[in-house]
Structure 1
Amino acid sequence: MKVKIMEAMQRFSKAMFIPILILPIEGILIAFGNLFTNPKLMEVFPFLNNPITTGFGTILTGSLVSILANLGLIFCVGIAIGLANKEKAIAGFTALLGYLVFVNAMNKFMQLSGILYEGDTLQGTGQTSVLGVQILDMGVFLGLILGIVTAVVHNKFVDKEFKGAFQIYGGSRFVFIVLIPVVVLLSIALTYIWPVFQSGINGLGTFIQHSGSFGIFLYGALERLLIPTGLHHLVYTPFLYTSLGGAEEVGGKVLEGARNIYYAEIIDPHVKELSPSVVWDARGISKMFGLIGACLAMYHTAKPENKAKARAILIPAAITSFIAGVTEPIEFSFMFVAPLLFVVHAVLSGLAMVTFHLFDVRAIGPNGMIDFLLFNVPLGVGKTHWPTYILIGLIFFVIYYVVFRFLITKFNFKTIGREDEGVETKLYTKKDYKEKQSQGKAETAAAQGNDGIASVIVNALGGASNITTVTNCYTRLRLTLDHPEKVNEEILKRETGANGVIISDKNVQVVYGLQVNNIRKAVDEYLGLSANE
């Protein structure tokens, strides 16, 4: 049972990446649009005060904010696509249809039952307008539930075919036929059930909000500790997009979730100070400062003869973490050779977020310095307190450095540059990957008649027949294997540039960093898979 639960969570975790990876881009563009309508910037740069640039900023920001109002639909389609075993595009389209059916079915049932609120405003009633239709306010949870339901129905019936006159109703059409009564009945059931769940969620959110520093510490530490399992975004996503992360009234509308509240507040000129809920999105402290200190500690503790190699490895990894917030290459360099360092890293991440809370910092930096500058600096010091964010970051840079250096030397951890003779730990850059890819193609094509690095990866995973599914997230190639014991971790690391390999039952994750999309495409092509499978 434990294995099945973990498999289900990891599969759901992979599916979540489809909507999650799009939302940060939306946030950056909202912040970019806000630059052109920021009165303070217009005072510094008068040329921005013209109808063309302000109009562009208004249109860009206004159009993207609409995504926040329809997160349920976005997650519904994204989850269905991610969980579908095949015909993913059709699964997404069916999810869209199911979402429309559900919304209107719930509206009609609430109307017939006499529980549809008829006042001028829906605020505080537990009801809201979704795509212009009044229903219970389920937020992102509506999308998650319908996405899962659609995927289950799709996977079960997408191969169902009929003969004769009924042939036209087979396959994806039959999926929709089955889905209609399912979502209609679900809409009726949730009309009575959801208020109970919502009450529980609100109670949990209130408990977390009142738990103060302990709750924030637990959140920050868990978000890092779960990285090896790939489930860490299941911790922060509810806080960013649901009532667990707080609820605030902005511009006459009640918004739930730290990220939603933040996006609304940065474009509202009447908001003088951001909500304290932004602490749930201040996860970038370890990415921009802490791990940089850890890298410096690993460099200073490297053997003298390995200093140049350690410097060449750690500098690109540190820059990637600082600028883009991609931390896995650094974390996986010490996660397995020195697990204690990883636990300490998680603890320090939690403590950093507690420090933000205690000093009432209202700035965010979820994905590195680029995000931090775009989101916070244009808003001014009074609205975000961003200089305090940097000050705290510098303090934790020193703490990370001192603690990591002490532990590495105290326990003689074999971090970068401290490996035993003949053993090498290496982080691969994109340039390294391309060079290895070219080398691999030449070598393996001659020796095996295969197609470069993809063949090396597939063979190291036990061969094509051993691979059941192939997906990827932001930095990892995620696979399901029939026989995970056949995985050759050494070859994956040495020959293909993998930063780490995680095996949990039949679920295997191979960490490649930002170049994972190219690797996924190469593996798909080698296996003869299409993106829709």
Structure 2
Amino acid sequence: MQCRIKIKRRRQANMLSYLQKVGRALMVPVAALPAAAILMGLGYWIDPSDWGGSNSLAALLITSGSAIINNMSTLFAIGIAYGMSKDKDGAAALAGFVGYLVLTALCSPKGVSIIEQLPIDQVPAAFDNINNQFIGILVGIISAELYNRFSHIELPNALSFFNGRLLVPILTSFVMIFVACALMFVWPVIYDALVNFGENIQDMGSLGAGIYAFFNRLLVPIGLHHALNSVFWFDVAGINDIPNFLAGQQSIDSGTAEVGVTGRYQAGFFPIMMFGLPGAALAMYHCARPEKKNKIYGIMLAGAFASFLTGISEPLEFSFMFVAPPLYFIHAVLTGISVFIAAQMHWIAGFGFSAGLIDMILSSRNPLATDWYMLFPQGVLFFAVYYLMFRFFINKFKLLTPGREEDIFGDEEDDYNINKNNIRNINNDTAIKLLARRYISAMAGSNNLIAIDACITRLRLNVKDAARVNEALAKNLGASAIICLNKYSVQVIVGARAEFIAQAMQRVFADSRVPSAVMTALPPPHRIQADIKKIQATPLILLSPITGTVHPLETIADEAYASKILGEGVAIYPTAKTIVAPIDGKITRIVHTSHAFYLTSSTGVEILIHIGIQLDKQYSHGFKRLVEEDSIVIAGQPILLLDLEYLNANGVSLLSPVLVQNLSHFGELSVLANGEVVAGQTDLFAISPAGTVSANYTAALLAAGIDYTQ
């Protein structure tokens, strides 16, 4: 019995993970909506009543935007096929497009009439609506699965042109024939069920809109709100609230929109995103501990501004969603009430991206936007309600919202200082790869990581065991929250940089194996001060890893190194072929072209030695590694050999940075050498303070937020 229960739970977990994968893939086509919103919003601003009939510029803008809205189902098929493909390849997107064309042609009224030999007026009405987002989602999922399974198939030599990726669109077109045959029986049933569900909500009027909004917020933590949105915002059940609203006068003329009604599944979100959540942010700031208010101020101000201007609410919602679940439930209830009020009062505005000020302004001239300005006083009211309710519940029930956490070791450094270890330019390729590597390490390394993806503000990761994830280290890297949905699914909230980090993690994951970060348990608090003094007692000397000439970092023709974004140190122009370890430690990574390696000392100092800059792959055979990743090395031990004759003959710039990347965790760096240095013999620089305490211990102090350098 227990075995069956475990199997059932695992299946449920796998299903949840899969649904999340679908949900995040939906963000690919949904990302096209802001363009439609801007184009159509500007068009209606110019000509709100005649749909460009009296203004050519308005007609141009509205027609351009409607081209996106009217083809959302096709975009869903393409976007989901691409988003769910294992390597985000264009062949998957092509397969989605081909599959959608085949399926919708076969299941069109004309296609059904011919295949089933029925008079066209006897074809079920469901097939009049086959071009919808639900079908697009279905085709996208099937196409992605076919791509993931068959994109590496090798055919006989006579058919070798169609090997691998080129096979998938062809295979998809044949599979869609069978899917179409099944849909001819199943689609009328599915369509009737969806329509009934939508009609039940529609029949409930304003109350139904409020119920929808309540569940919309409740599903945000697990990322399934996108699936619910597709029923009410698009044409799955005939509601199609967003496209009908954006089409404005065209929808009114065609009878697909009703003034004062169309947009009711959107309007009530504006008071919440623009006013309610900023009110909650102010309450959390006022309830923070006095010594942490300065740090909380920046976090809450940034989140409130993003929510007000763009309607992106996740940075604020995730700040209290899991640390104070009762507040999030209150937030969901208040969202439902707001949407109900706006729908009941016929205060209507719409959006193409989210319910922020930008979309409010763009939609205000739409002929379907009725009394939209009343959403502002409603918003002011909800600002007060959110502020008062959040402040009351936080203080009454001692909820640990940001800035109210209890410190284990007193008033020390906390987790609100993001982008540590000198990683400040998140778009710099080397810096983002370094940050990505550390996130993989925090997920218990490459061996524990299965799949990497992202949506707007969060990393969505599949792991073998979520219990092994190092939450303290992930937060120390800048994550605001870590959500373990089940044993196999982890979400890491990192804000708007999520896509950059996920892409870098995918590259690092494919190129090399990253070990797990090891954090030991901390000793009792009374021992820490003595150990910190021990850490600070002895300066750490690093030998020169390169024989050559020392130069300042500023002379390197790469801003990332010259500006010291990637760390402190010097540059050395090599004149001998052997590169050695500057200190005892562990080789944590050697890049696949062997021109750079990372070394971590026994005290936790992280060193990057990068031979040359901006090297093309064609020069990879100019380097030979003498040790492998995870090797334990001693100071002076050879690590790399350079083919200087080859590299110099090909004009490669060999000026090489030698960097300490986490100097802020230790102290000051003093350069001890200038001019000529000899690898393994010349003292290059000293780091003070440093010492002999183990790297695991010092890393654990850092992960706990204890800055022992002060």
1:390 aligns with 2:376: yes
CA RMSD of aligned residues (A): 3.3
Contact 2:50 2:249 in 1 (8 A): no
Q: Does 1:7 align with 2:7?
A: no
State the partner residue of 2:146: 153
- Which secondary structure does the structure 2 equivalent of 1:262 belong to? helix
**Partner AA of 2:56 in structure 1:** G
In structure 2, what is the equivalent of residue 499 of structure 1? 480
C-alpha change, 1:492 and 1:391, in structure 2 (3 Å) is same
Deviation at 1:514, TM superposition (A): 1.3
| C-alpha spacing 1:193/1:273, structure 2 compared with 1 (3 Å) | closer
* CA deviation map 1:249-297 (0-9, x unaligned): xxxxxxxx10011012256686996351312123233211111111111
Q: C-alpha distance in 2, partners of 1:163/1:114?
A: 39
Partner of 2:155: 162
Letter in 2 for 1:165: A
- Partner letter of residue 393 of structure 2? L
> For residues 279 and 100 of structure 1, do their structure 2 counterparts lie closer, same or farther at Cα, with a shift above 3 Å needed?
same
Q: What residue is the counterpart of 1:306 in the other structure?
A: 292
Letter of the 1:367 counterpart:
A
Structure 1 residue 423: Cα displacement: 7.0
Corresponding residue to 1:188 among 178, 181, 194: 181
Is this contact kept in 2: 1:364–1:372, CA < 8 A? yes
Report the counterpart of residue 241 of structure 2 in structure 1.
258
Residue deviations 1:426-451 (CA, integer Å, cap 9, x gap) = 667xxx54985149999x99xxxx95
Aligned to 1:31: 41
Residue matched to 2:359: 371
In the superposition, relative to structure 1, how do residues 529 and 400 fare at CA in structure 2: closer, same or farther (>3 Å)?
Answer: farther
Which amino acid is 1:117 matched to? I
Q: Choose from 372, 379, 385 the match for 1:399.
A: 385
Distance 2:152 2:39 in 1: 41
Opposite residue 33 of structure 1, the aligned amino acid is G
Look up the match of 1:237: 230
Equivalent residue number for residue 490 of structure 1 = 472
In the alignment, the residues of structure 2 paired with residue 420 and residue 392 of structure 1 have an alpha-carbon distance, to the nearest angstrom, of 36
| 1:113-262 equivalences in 2 (<5 Å) | 113-115=116-118, 117=120, 125-128=125-128, 137-244=130-237, 246=239, 257-262=240-245
Aligned partners of 2:71, 2:26: CA distance in 1, in Å? 16
More relative contact order, 1 or 2 (CA 8 Å, 6+ apart):
1
SS for the counterpart of 1:280 is coil
Contact 1:72–1:141 (CA under 8 A) maintained in structure 2: yes
Aligned to 1:331: 317
In the comparison of the two structures, how many residue pairs are matched? 490
Larger mean Cα displacement after TM superposition, 79-88 or 304-313:
304-313
2:458 match: 476
* Percent of aligned positions that are identical: 30
Q: Distance in 1 between matches of 2:433 and 2:242?
A: 43
Aligned to 2:76: 75
* Correspondence for 2:493 among 503, 511, 514: 511
CA deviations over 1:298-328 (Å, ceiling 9, x no partner): 2222333433333233212211111112222
- Matches for 1:353-368 after TM superposition, within 5 Å: 353-364=339-350, 366-368=354-356
- Give 2:642's aligned residue: none
In structure 1, distance between residues paired with 2:376 and 2:500: 34
Q: How far apart are residue 27 of structure 1 and its match?
A: 1.6
Structure 1 counterpart SS, 2:461:
strand
Match of 2:504 in 1: 522
**Closer/same/farther in 2, CA of residues 111 and 411 from structure 1, 3 Å limit:** same
The 3-state SS of whatever aligns with 2:491 is: strand
Which residue of the partner structure matches residue 131 of structure 1?
none
Aligned AA for 1:237? S
In structure 2, distance between residues paired with 1:340 and 1:347: 11
What amino acid is aligned across from residue 190 of structure 2 in structure 1?
A: F
Equivalent position amino acid for 2:157 in 1: G
Report the residue type matching 1:375 in the other structure: S
Amino acid at match of 1:328: E
Once residues 227 and 50 of structure 1 are traced to their aligned partners in structure 2, the CA distance between those partners, rounded to angstroms, is: 41
SS of equivalent to 1:437: coil
Paired letter, 2:72? L
* Structure 1 partner of 2:661: none
2:439 alignment partner AA: I
Matched, 1:411 2:369: no
Q: 1:241: how far off?
A: 0.5
Query: Which residue identity lines up with residue 110 of structure 1 in the other structure?
Result: S
With over 3 angstroms needed to count, the CA separation of the structure-2 counterparts of 1:197 and 1:416, relative to structure 1, is: closer
CA contact (8 A) 1:157 1:175 kept: yes
Contact 2:102 2:176 in 1 (8 A): yes
CA apart distance, 1:126: 4.7
Kindly state the Cα deviation for residue 69 of structure 1 after the two structures are TM-superposed. 2.2
Q: TM-score, length-normalised on structure 2? A: 0.63
CA distance in 2, matches of 1:62, 1:362: 23
Segment of structure 1 superposing worse, 230-239 or 101-110: 101-110
Counterpart check, 1:348 vs 2:334: yes
Report Cα offsets for 1:102-139 as digits up to 9, x if no partner: 233344452243446379xx9x95554xxxxxxx5342
1:443-490 Cα offsets, whole Å, 9 max, x none, are x99xxxx95322221111111233222211111111222232221111
Native 8 Å contact 1:416 1:426 kept in 2: no
Aligned to 1:60: 61
Amino acid at match of 1:226: L
Conserved 8 A contact 1:153-1:175: yes
Secondary structure in 2 matching 1:242:
coil
Q: Are the counterparts in 1 of residues 41 and 366 from structure 2 also a CA contact under 8 Å?
A: no
- Say if 2:450 is the partner of 1:465: no
Could you tell me whether the CA contact under 8 Å between 1:273 and 1:383 is conserved in 2?
no
Q: Which has the higher helix share?
A: 1
For 2:243, the aligned partner's letter is N
Q: Distance in 2 between matches of 1:424 and 1:346?
A: 33
| CA shift for structure 1 position 167 | 2.8
Q: Which amino acid aligns with 1:485?
A: A
Q: Compute the displacement of 1:150 (Å).
A: 1.6
Distance 2:164 2:125 in 1: 41
Gaps of 5+ in 2: 1-10, 513-710
Rounded to whole Å, the distance in 1 between the matches of 2:67 and 2:191 is 24
Alignment partners' CA distance in 2, 1:97 and 1:440: 37
Find the aligned partners of 1:206 and 1:146 in 2 and give their Cα distance: 25
- Counterpart check, 1:276 vs 2:257: no
Give SS of 1:414's match. coil
d(CA) in 1 for partners of 2:172, 2:140: 12
User: 1:337 touches 1:413 (CA, 8 Å); kept in 2?
Assistant: yes
8 Å CA contact 1:80, 1:148 repeated in 2: yes
Aligned to 1:251: none
> Conserved in 2, the CA contact under 8 Å of 1:37 and 1:57?
yes
1:529/1:68 CA distance change after superposition, 3 Å: farther
Q: Distance in 2 between matches of 1:345 and 1:420?
A: 24
CA contact (8 A) 2:273 2:307 kept: yes
